[in-house]
Amino acid sequence: EPEVTQTPSHQVTQMGQEVILRCVPISNHLYFYWYRQILGQKVEFLVSFYNNEISEKSEIFDDQFSVERPDGSNFTLKIRSTKLEDSAMYFCASSEQLAGGGEQYFGPGTRLTVT
């Protein structure tokens, strides 16, 4: 069964450093998403991406964040200058069509720890 993969599973970085989280969505999906979950809090929407541009972004997704689909398979989330409060589990998801009809398939997540 096709699945969304994410690398790395755990990333430790120092405050102020840039990090890139990588995701490989399901191959025939057209819509891509990033969510994050700070420990003990809800899963929060960050951004949706379609046709090589951002469709929607949350207030969290400020100028420090960017997304890119550099090739036909990868979907990346970049944080330019990490802060302590960026420590969280980051989930990538993809869907064949827009939800509500299209379900989103999630990857296992990347745990980002900023020290």
| Closest separation in Å from C-beta 74 to other proteins | 17
Judged by CB under 8 A, the chain residues 47 through 66 that form the site for other proteins are 48, 55-56, 58
The overall longest dimension of the chain from CA atoms, in Å, is 40
**Cα 77 from chain centroid (whole Å):** 5
The site string for other proteins over 11-30 (x = CB under 8 A, - otherwise) reads --------------------
Sign of CA dihedral 33, 66, 49, 5: negative
Q: Are 77 and 57 in contact (CB under 8 A)?
A: no
Give the Cα separation of 82 and 115 in Å (integer). Answer: 9
Q: Which CB atom, from 67 or from 107, has the smaller least distance to other proteins?
A: 107
Q: How far apart are CA 35 and CA 44, in angstroms?
A: 5
Q: Which of residues 19, 25, 31, 75 is near other proteins by CB under 8 A?
A: 31
Segment interacting with other proteins, rule: CB under 8 A, options 59-67, 69-77, 80-88, 95-103: 95-103
Q: Which residues bind other proteins (CB under 8 A)?
A: 3-4, 31, 33, 35, 41-45, 48, 55-56, 58, 91, 93, 95, 98-109
